[in-house]
Amino acid sequence: MVKDRTALVNQLHETLSPLFPEFVAVFNQLDSPTSLALLIAYPGPDYICHAGEEKVGETLANASRNRVGKVVAKALVEAAQISVGIIQRQPALATKVSILGERIRALNTAIEKVEKQVEDLFGKLPYNPKDFPAGDIPSLATLISEIEDIHRFPTLKQFLSHFGWCPGSFQTGSYRLEHPRMSHAGNKYVRRLTWMLSIVAIRTISPYRAYFQRRVKAGKAKMHIIVAVGRKLLSVFYAILKRGIPYNPDWEVKQPCCPGKVLTSI
């Protein structure tokens, strides 16, 4: 649903560009409740001009719970009056804007409902989000649901292979690829989530940020370093779930030669 919403927001950007390009200067987040309410009610500069500051202000105030009102309404009306949007196509484009706004708003409601259900279900599990190095409840719930029972992975290598966070094997006859690319196995949404968590870890967690900086100075490619950070994160998740030990920023799970060892300092 998030992916679908992103596609719709991109369509809304593309539609507003010829219709009312000045709108994004006032509302840079098109999928906010206030922005959507306005675009559904007044989907174009002519509609905003005809409505006037008072009605536009009322719509903004109601949608934002009085956090946005007259000042923004005045800015919108002034922008609409001098808009360089295409007048001839305004009726058709305005219809599209209104429909896209309604679809995005419906998706926002559905996503909020699912996230609330996920949070309620996660609360029944024996896990504390603070025990993990990165991730909010929806992302942690996604990872845990993909893992199911951690004990079905006797080794870290099997765990990483399940997520596709390991080199893919390629061999034909006696030839074997010396430097294989990442495997494409595993749930694609979870793989994308792992990638995003790796970036968050580099930005916000000092041991991972320090590791990233060290590897950059050593001349390693940044994309390869992010993959390595993802492996470290998954390794830490594996140790936490397997042993029930909360994350310690001074520890790192490393690939053991024998199953069972391993929490060492980064």
Residue 231 has pLDDT above 70, yes or no: yes
Indicate if 108 and 156 belong to the same structural domain.
no
pLDDT number for residue 259:
43
Residue 239 pLDDT > 70? yes
Mean pLDDT, rounded, for 210-226: 92
Least confident window among 5-14, 95-104, 136-145: 136-145
**Domain boundaries, position 116:** 2-120
pLDDT: which is higher, 123 or 175: 123
Q: Which residue has the higher pLDDT, 45 or 178?
A: 45
Question: Tell me, what CATH number does 18's domain have?
Answer: 1.10.287
Is residue 114 located within the same domain as residue 14? yes
Do 108 and 52 fall within a single domain? Answer: yes
Q: Do 88 and 32 share a domain, yes or no?
A: yes
Do 135 and 225 lie in one domain? The reply is yes
Same domain, 77 and 141: no
User: What is the C-alpha separation between 94 and 46, in angstroms, rounded?
Assistant: 10
pLDDT, position 181 = 58
Mean pLDDT of 218-245: 91
Span 176-180, average pLDDT: 49
Looking at the structure of the chain, the number of domains it has is 2
Residue partners of 247: CB distance under 8 A and separation at least 6:
131, 132, 133, 236, 240
Residue 30 binned pLDDT confidence (cut-offs 50, 70, 90): very high
**Mean pLDDT, range 91-113, rounded to an integer:** 96
Q: What is the percentage of the chain residues whose pLDDT exceeds 90?
A: 61
Backbone angles phi, psi at 134, to 5 degrees: -155, 160
Query: Are residues 77 and 196 located together in one domain of the fold?
Result: no
pLDDT at 35 over 60: yes
Q: Residue 89: how many CB atoms within 10 A of its CB?
A: 14
Tell me, yes or no, whether 115 and 138 share the same domain: no
- Mean pLDDT on 60-76: 90
Averaged confidence pLDDT in the chain = 86
Contacts of 184 (CB under 8 A, 6+ apart): 164, 168
* Residues 6+ positions from 180 with CB-CB distance below 8 Å: 167, 168, 169, 170
pLDDT of residue 103: 97
Same domain (yes/no): 220, 242: yes
Whether residue 20 is found in the same domain as residue 91: yes
Q: Which residue pairs from 194-200 have beta carbons closer than 8 angstroms and sit at least 24 positions apart in sequence?
A: 194/143, 194/163, 194/165, 194/230, 194/233, 194/234, 195/226, 195/230, 196/139, 197/134, 197/135, 197/139, 197/230, 197/233, 198/226, 198/227, 198/229, 198/230, 198/233, 199/226, 200/134, 200/135
In this prediction, residue 54 carries a pLDDT of 93
Task: Indicate the residue among 78, 102, 120 that finishes a domain.
Answer: 120
Domain identity same for 87 and 197: no
Q: What is the pLDDT of residue 180?
A: 52
Percent of the chain scoring above 70 in pLDDT: 86
Mean pLDDT of 73-86: 92
Cβ proximity of 56 and 76 under 8 Å: yes
Q: Over 90: is that where the pLDDT of 114 sits? A: yes
**Are 55 and 155 in a shared domain?**
no
Highest mean pLDDT among 101-105, 167-171, 185-189, 220-224: 101-105
